[in-house]
Chains A and B, each alone.
Chain A
Amino acid sequence: MRLVGRSLLVGLWFMFLTLPLLAVRVNTITETVEWRWLNLVWVGLGTFILSLALALWRQRSESQPQRDDGEGDITPRWRERLFHDQTVYRPLLIMALLATLLLPWLVDIYQINILVLALIFVVLGLGLNIIVGLAGLLDLGYIAFFAVGAYTYALLNINLDLGFWAALPLGGLAGAFFGLLIGFPVLRLRGDYLAIVTLGFGSIVKIVIENEDELFYGAMGIADIPRPGLLGLDLSLDQSTLYTYYLVVALALLAIFVTNRLKDSRLGRAWIALREDEIAAVAMGIDMAKCKLSAYAFGAFWAGLVGVLFAARNTFIHPNSFTFAESALVLSMVVLGGMGSIVGVTLAALILVLLPEYLQGLAEYRMLVFGGVMVAMMVFRPHGLISPSRRRYTRPQAQGEEG
């Protein structure tokens, strides 16, 4: 009963909080006030139920500590089998791959286009995962590298008439270069300062693009960027979209493969060590400057690479595609997926792009829900949907997995 009382108070408190903004809407021109009391009732009811459910859940988990321990034992075992037992995960991976390859033959052009976008964000998520997830460097301006890639292709195409394939590696390299550029001044900064500097860097890139009309075509954007070419063949729009789809699938697979190998490499383990404890890592002889810079370069490389593809897919780019909202979107993919977990980030990227596309009614509430989920995730499941599993090294005599 005490819980109900408390929850009632919580509901009333939130009704009070949202009173002026949710229940009132003023029109300053016609000087009328519109009262929307119903909204308030929903807020009160919603927060009451939420708070009650939370309190009950907390009470239950407190009163049954043993049962919790038992569950805690089973979950990792199930997860371990999924991720470490080859007989389990190999068929699953092959099935997922087949599904990805066959999917475009089952759906129409519009859906393929959305899938391309989703996969572009998968690559972006994986790239940011290197910086934030593995190396633990919070980057709030990641989308700037994406913009660098997209504009590299567009400008090279206009000025030097370079094709997609020539621009692809150049876009990646340009991204990596900018990654190093931002990496140098922030080497000595701690996490929080880093966040604000990267955010500033992201804004600077967007503002410069927006205002330099002669160099970057400013707020008009750049139109008529050629789609990716295939050996000089003339492709119809449908064929070209299909081709782009397979390209981005290949790129996403490459990104998954590379980041997966990178994670267990000497460099990858150095990143994780730096993330966990910088002082201890440096004391163990890890070259901090080299590691941080390479994390920025690798992460930004993927953004630049996929930026070229983004420009080619859209055939039109505009500075407004590269705002803080997009940076936040990619960051929430990494956070939701579980920082450092490749499977998690991939899934989160697909969910976050595809869900709003198919639930059009939700599109309006998308950012609201993102924000709420980011908070809830940190409070209840700080390790993300699929928390990253550390690789375990077994002794040589224990046959099976190689170290």
Chain B
Amino acid sequence: MDYFLELCLGGLTRGSIYALIALGYTMVYGIIQLINFAHGEIYMIAAFIALIVSAILTINGFTGVSILIIAAVIAILYAAAYGYTLERVAYRPLRNAPRLSPLISAIGMSLFLQNYVLLAQTPDFLPFPELLPEFEFMDPVAHLIGSAELVILVVTTVTMLGLTFLIRSTRLGKAMRATQQDMTMARLVGINVDRVISLTFVLGSVLAAIGGVLVGSYMGQINFFIGFMAGVKAFTAAVLGGIGSIPGAVLGGVVLGLTEALAAGYISSAYEDVFAFGVLILILVLRPNGLLGRTVRTKV
């Protein structure tokens, strides 16, 4: 029973990270119907920047939580800048192009960013410093869940609640929802659609960056390729839940994380990816719009 619980908590942790990244996919998809393939790379770049900043800080004598906070803030700012630039360079010129074009542009951008980090930094795994704090009060349940996992769960939950608040109750959230429903109409009522789209990318990148910093210090090592797999998994989670739906992304992430953790624990860890994709294909066959997605009727 303990083993099962441990697997579930591990799966939940993993799933909450997937959900965090999946939110970026789903928000962008909801607004411009584009799979932002380079989203995972933003997450990877944020992890790298956090690593570099924290190394510089450590060498210069900083200690403890201050490193975590400074590194995370800089990583988030840079991720936002990368997300904004990405949209300006690779997607905005293609706003009115056929649907396959931005998708291919996104794949190109993903390859570009991966190899940019590979060439600028290193092809090898880099050890990531342990930035997350250790709590003593966690000791009694340490065999089930570690401090790092608790921090991840708390941070992701708070972030998601914050996002929900932002989308439900702020001017920006209202503008985003309007743009999602009908871009032309949103423009007619005076919403700066280009700015809303830019901000959506920035917001998604911030979420990805939080995920990157958390995963980096949870896993203990990063390389240029982590973004690809995390991106694919997060996108799978978004599709699972029904792409474009924000609660769907969270649900999809959790389902995916649990599936993987249980498959790895009871069958074989080599096959966890196979199970992840297997579940995806199964759900898409049964419910082509995902778990919480709405059926979109196409009118001619």
Contacts and interface: CB of A to CB of B under 8 A. Distances in A.
Interface in A365-380: 365, 367-368, 370-375, 377-379
Contact of A374 (B99, B107, B235, B236): B107
Interface stretch (B12-20, B115-123, B160-168, B199-207): B115-123
A378 B37 CA distance: 15
Nearest to A22: B120
A367 B236 contact: no
A200 B280 contact: yes
A39 B120 CA distance: 9
A347 interface: no
A228 to B, nearest CB: 33
Contacts of A32: 59
Contacts of B154: none
Interface string B90-104: 100110011111111
A324 B90 CA distance: 21
A372 B108 contact: yes
A343 to B, nearest CB: 20
Interface in B111-164: 111-117, 119-122, 126-127, 129
B129 A28 contact: yes
Nearest to B272: A207
Contacts of B270: 207, 210-211
Given A207-B271, A324-B228, A379-B93, A371 B111 contact: yes
A28 B127 contact: yes
Given A191-B103, A200-B281, A207-B271, A371 B59 contact: no
Contacts of A382: 94, 97-98, 101
Interface stretch (B81-89, B176-184, B187-195, B210-218): B81-89
Nearest 9 CB-CB pairings of A with B: A374-B108, A371-B112, A371-B111, A200-B277, A368-B115, A26-B55, A378-B105, A375-B108, A367-B115
22 contacts: A17-B85, A21-B52, A21-B116, A32-B59, A140-B107, A185-B284, A192-B99, A193-B288, A195-B35, A196-B280, A197-B277, A207-B270, A208-B274, A211-B271, A328-B107, A367-B111, A368-B115, A375-B90, A375-B109, A378-B94, A378-B105, A379-B94
Interface of A: 13-14, 16-18, 20-22, 24-26, 28, 31-33, 39, 136, 138, 140, 185-186, 188-189, 191-193, 195-197, 199-201, 203-204, 207-208, 210-211, 279-280, 283, 324, 328, 331-332, 335, 339, 364-365, 367-368, 370-375, 377-379, 382
Interface of B: 29, 33, 35, 45, 48-49, 51-53, 55-56, 58-59, 74, 78, 81-82, 85, 89-90, 93-94, 97-105, 107-117, 119-122, 126-127, 129, 228, 232, 235-236, 239, 243, 268, 270-271, 273-274, 276-278, 280-281, 284-285, 288, 298, 300
